[in-house]
Chain A
Amino acid sequence: MPAEAIDRAGRRDTAAIERIFRAEYGRAVAVLTRHFGDLDIAEEAVQEAFVVAVRRWPEQGIPPSPAGWIIMTARNRAIDRLRRESARPGMEAAASESPVIAGGASGSDGPDLGPDVSDVTEWGDDMLRLIFTCCHPALAPAARVALTLRLLGGLSTGEIARAFLTTEATMGQRISRAKGKIRDAGIPYRVPRDADLPVRLGGVLAVLYLIFNEGYAASGGDNLMRPELTAEAIRLARTLVQLMPDEPEARGLLALMLLIEARRPARTTPAGDPVLLSDQDRSLWDRAMIGEGQSLLRACLRRNRPGPYQIQAAINAVHADASRADATDWRQILILYDHLAALTPTPIVALHRAVALAEVHGPAPALEIVDALTGLDQHHVRQVVRADLLRRSGRPAEAADAYDLAADQAGNDPEQRFLRARADALRGTGESPDRDRPPGRT
């Protein structure tokens, strides 16, 4: 084979290993954590196994079960390490008592031993254990997000730090503090019992939605979106749906993410500026993703156990159904928001409900609601909604001020530019922009 061809093959392998890493890292860490009872040992061993894979696979080819190979190799590496480290006699003892290892592990790199690790049911249980451990309510929300991305998503500390606009040192500290608490406080590595499951699952879904939202509307920086975070959130939600097929809210969350993510190609101009929902070129929406979201939604609504994620997915499905912005069934959306507000009476829900209300009953009653909201003083979307309602009420000067305030509060640069431009347009001409559209949503 000519050198070039080998080089091409090598690159192809590297890309394949990268894909396998993303897909299998969390599963491998989950299995190893159960074997060794220690997150750090599990993570280091899995990382070492991938280093071996990068060295070997381009020469020897990718094994038939890459995940199984990674898990075996990681397990052997971990055993080697525990044997070497006499300073950790407790761990050594734990390792040699492990039923998997009793099968007679040798110290080699290769996948040369042991019972069948291709048992997906077993892996699934381990994945769930790891998910619930990472999202344990005794950990701070920011730590839950960081641990989930790190242990389940395989993102590096640096990648997570960049995604959340903090330094690698700070993020590293947050992760190691959280791992320390899991270990020292005895946060159990298990799926919660049935009585606790609804609340605990709600916590897991909230972490995934937080990751998605940070990707969908970056809270800072020079980009409007961080597609790597939305993709990771969708991947994790898919895993959760696969592992807990009877939980309609998990399915509802995946549907919600897909229906929102489907609009991504239309959400920005080529220059990276935001495009409002009403102005989007709907032919750019990802129809396959919308189709999947809608069929997931139908499947979970059939179970007749509605929850906040299913209702939000339904709202987004109504948007997806409208071929043009002015064909949107706002009455249906308002009914859905009434349900959502009854289930989760938060100021944010009230704010979005007001947008739908304005479309059905005009800006005056909506403005009354938005002005009366408390607890959203730092939330730029409230000012965006206010600005639009003021504009539509024929109060352009106040609308311009509200846009300016919104720009001050907005996190990312493209959104700030967009809001300033709207304020300037209202002041410059003294007229409102001619486009009539619902605000605050892209």
Chain B
Amino acid sequence: MRQYLLSVYQPDGDPPPPEILDPIMAELGKLNEEMKAAGAWVFAVGLHPASTATVLRDQVMTDGPFAEGKEHLGGFTLINAPDLDAALDWGSRMSAILRPPLAIEVRPVV
């Protein structure tokens, strides 16, 4: 079994209002439960906004985030999957829930 990191990238700025966000979070919760039942779920985290990040390099500290841009890593889920197609299936299930549409990067773990 391989492992894949599903990283969700979201635009900077305020999150959607609760009437939009809450149903999305509920759907994501259901998907997580389904992943757990299938033995795919390893762990998942959501992150505070990129404006809260701090970058360290060569003993120098800067106010983050690391990469400039309008979208940043907002959270990730680590899953077990037999191959990329299976990982992409979970990723597209997640993608179908996220509104507005967000980019999900599916990347194999070494």
Interface residues of A (CB under 8 A from B): 136, 138, 184-188, 192, 196
* Bound Cα distance A215, B44 (Å): 48
Q: Name the one of B85, B107, B108 contacting A188, with C-beta atoms under 8 angstroms.
A: B85
Q: How many CB-defined contacts (below 8 Å) exist between A and B?
A: 23
A196–B86 Cα gap in the complex (Å)? 12
Q: Are A185 and B85 in contact (CB under 8 A)?
A: no
B26 at the interface (CB under 8 A from A): no
B28 touches A (CB below 8 Å): no
Interface of chain B, main secondary structure = mixed
A320 to B87, CA, bound (A): 47
- The distance from the CB of B89 to the nearest CB of chain A, in whole angstroms, is 9
Q: Is the C-beta of B83 less than 8 angstroms from some C-beta in chain A? A: yes
Binary flags per residue of B96-109, CB closer than 8 Å to A gives 1, else 0 = 00000000000110
| B88 lies within 8 A of A188 (CB) | no
Docked complex Cα distance between A187 and B81 (Å): 11
B84 on the A face (CB < 8 A) = yes
Interface of A: prevailing SS? loop
Most B CB atoms within 10 A — which of A185, A186, A192, A196? A186
With the chains together, A304 CA to B23 CA distance in Å? Answer: 43
The answer, yes or no, to whether B30 is at the interface (CB within 8 Å) is no
Assess whether B2 is interfacial by the CB under 8 Å rule: yes
Bound Cα distance A184, B82 (Å): 12
A185 to B109, CA, bound (A): 8
- The residue on B at minimum CB distance from A189 is B83
Q: Which residues of A are found within 8 Å of B84, using beta-carbon distances?
A: 136, 138, 185-188
Whole-angstrom CA separation of A188 from B88 in the bound complex: 12
Query: How far does the Cβ of B17 sit from chain A's closest Cβ, in whole Å?
Result: 35
Q: Chain B's nearest CB lies how many Å from the CB of A287?
A: 44
Chain B, 57-103, CB within 8 A of any chain A CB: 81-85, 87-88
Assembled-state Cα–Cα distance A188/B84 (Å):
7
Give chain B interface residues in 1-19, CB to chain A under 8 Å.
Answer: 2
Most chain A CB inside 10 Å of its own CB: which residue of B87, B107, B108 = B108
Q: How far is the CA of A190 from the CA of B107 in the complex (A)?
A: 20
Q: Using a Cβ–Cβ cut-off of 8 Å, how many residues does chain B contribute to the interface with A?
A: 10
What residues of B have a CB within 8 angstroms of the CB of A186 in the complex?
2, 81-84, 87, 108
Contact of A184 among B81, B88, B108 (CB under 8 A): B108
B89's nearest neighbour on chain A, judged by CB, is: A196
Q: Assess the B85–A192 pair: CB atoms within 8 A.
A: yes
- Shortest CB distance A180–B (Å): 11
Q: Least Cβ distance of A172 to chain B in Å? A: 23
Contacts of A184 in B (CB 8 A): 108
Residues of A within 8 A of B85 (CB): 187-188, 192, 196
7 interchain residue pairs of minimum CB distance: A188-B83, A186-B83, A185-B108, A186-B84, A185-B84, A187-B84, A186-B2
Closest residue of chain A to B85, judged by CB? A188
User: Can you offer 18 A-B residue contacts whose CB atoms are under 8 A?
Assistant: A136-B84, A138-B84, A138-B88, A185-B107, A185-B108, A186-B2, A186-B81, A186-B82, A186-B83, A186-B108, A187-B83, A187-B84, A187-B85, A188-B82, A188-B83, A188-B84, A188-B85, A196-B85
Q: How far is the CA of A192 from the CA of B83 in the complex (A)?
A: 12
Residue of B nearest to A196 (CB): B85
Please report the C-alpha to C-alpha distance between residue A187 and residue B88 in the assembled complex, in whole angstroms.
10
Q: Report the nearest B residue to A137, measured CB to CB.
A: B88
Q: How far is the CA of A79 from the CA of B88 in the complex (A)?
A: 33
Complex Cα distance, B2 from A185, in Å, reads 9
Cα A138 to Cα B85 in complex, Å, equals 9
* CB neighbours of A196 from chain B (8 A): 85
Residue of A nearest to B87 (CB): A186
Provide the residues of chain B in CB contact with A136, threshold 8 Å: 84
C-alpha gap A196/B89 in the complex (Å) = 11
**For the complex, what is the distance from the CA of A188 to the CA of B81, rounded to whole Å?**
11
CA A299 to CA B81, docked complex, whole Å: 41
- Bound state CA distance, A196 and B82, in angstroms? 17
In the assembled complex, the Cα of A192 lies from the Cα of B88 at a distance in Å of: 13
Instruction: Identify the closest chain A residue to B107 (Cβ).
Output: A185
Closest Cβ of chain B to A191, distance in Å, is 11
Residues in chain A near residue B83, CB distance under 8 A: 186-188
User: From residue A393, how far is it (CB to closest CB) to chain B in Å?
Assistant: 44
Cβ of B92 to closest chain A Cβ, rounded Å: 11
A186 to B88, CA, bound (A): 11
Scoring B84, B107, B108 by chain A CB atoms within 10 A of each residue's CB, the highest score goes to B84
Output the least CB separation between B87 and chain A (Å): 8
CA A364 – CA B83 in complex, angstroms? 55
What's the minimum C-beta distance from A20 to chain B, rounded to whole angstroms?
Answer: 33
Cα distance A136–B83 when bound, in Å? 13
